[in-house]
Structure 1
């Protein structure tokens, strides 16, 4: 005997509609980035990401503008995760330095990220995850959440500023107009009696290396350590992070 449900048009219609009942899958920028990383950045497409998340491609455009933007953000996320220090035996200053280097090297490697940051289009998800990992590491080192947040701000501002300066130097060199040469030529064109202070330090100024920002970072960390009644570990001396094509100071 055939069941009543099989012959009831209303029941059959309800059964067909059942697959559409319920909330649509929730999608976030971070979920999209995670899916792209799982697929692999070389072969990732928006269609493959959408299929993995169970949504339509137009849904992705509510969170990202293009495949290129997605790849940049995913690459940034990968770099931060790979380079952020995770060893339990590290001193808090070594952890902070590792996070600073991960930010610096990520931005220098992908200058477009600086433009995204300046335009406010990078999105909050990566920043939130980075901050959470940093605060987790610092609280395990005896920092309060407020202290950890202040240290995060200081480290991030210094590292991002240094990366912008490094990108400027690299770009000028790539255009065949090294910044040190441009500064010397500009100074030479000024009246001899002008820039008397700047001329005195010009050689040092134009020969500044990319590692110099780490000296500033170390000075900041020394001050924080002093307030905590500590000294920095010898592993932070000396610091170096040369630009591509540059060698660290001896």
Structure 2
């Protein structure tokens, strides 16, 4: 009698990433992944202790791929900006996984590579060592939040986009000027949430880095 195939850790992570492309972290389960692989859940628990650990490993796989071949260039602000854009590109190809990273984080090799680059860049900024951990945390939280938000917009279907646009037009252009005077005043110049998503990350990050730079000796 032929036994079940033994799946490698990398094969499991690849299959999990593919499953997450068509769903989300909420609907993802080890049982569904096992069914997709044609095996039972117990065989996957030999590689990962639980669902959260598996999701973190999937997110780290994206980080690791993003950092592969990365070579820091420029000053500290350019290094952090380049890293953020590199991560955005990596998760842009797998938008469903951006929410996984933003929610579950990661503690693998890819995560350590990202942490190391941000910390090295901050040390090069001239900040005193005692300020760097806090600044690091705020930068990474900001990048993860912006990438997750941008990926969420890119993952919607054309039908969902059109429905959202129609709701936006009704809510904004049809606003009662007596109740919402400012909204009515700016209505024709406002754009829907996500319209400028490509520029938002760079603008917000640049402003935050400028704020840090102002505090350096």
TM over 0.5: yes
Distance 1:182 1:173 in 2: 15
Alignment length (residue pairs): 177
**What's 1:205 paired with?**
190
**Equivalent residue, structure 2, for 1:106:** 90
1:225 and 2:210 equivalent? no
Instruction: Name the counterpart of 2:66.
Output: 79
Say if 2:168 is the partner of 1:183. Answer: yes
- In the TM superposition, what is the alpha-carbon distance from 1:74 to its structure 2 partner? 1.7
Structure 1 residue 144: Cα displacement: 3.7
Contact 1:135 1:145 in 2 (8 A): no
Give 5+ residue unaligned stretches, structure 2.
1-8, 16-42
Which whole-Å CA distance do the structure 1 matches of 2:83 and 2:98 have between them? 17
Higher Rg of the two aligned structures: 1
Q: Which has the higher contact order (CA 8 A, sep 6+)?
A: 2
**Cα drift, residue 97 of structure 1:** 1.0
TM-score by length of 2: 0.61
Q: Pairwise CA RMSD of aligned residues?
A: 3.7
- Give the structure 2 partner of residue 174 of structure 1: 158
Quick one: distance in 1 between partners of 2:93 and 2:117? 22
In the alignment, which of 84, 92, 107 is matched to residue 124 of structure 1?
Answer: 107
Distance 2:208 2:112 in 1: 24
Q: CA deviation at 1:92?
A: 0.7
Structure 2 equivalent of residue 152 of structure 1: 136
Give 1 or 2: higher helix fraction: 2
**Among candidates 123, 134, 148, match of residue 164 of structure 1:** 148
Gaps of 5+ in 1: 1-31, 43-55, 230-250
Compute the displacement of 1:206 (Å): 1.0
Under a length normalisation based on structure 1, what TM-score does the superposition of the two structures give?
A: 0.54
Cα distance change, pair 106–198 in 1 and its aligned pair in 2 (3 A)? farther
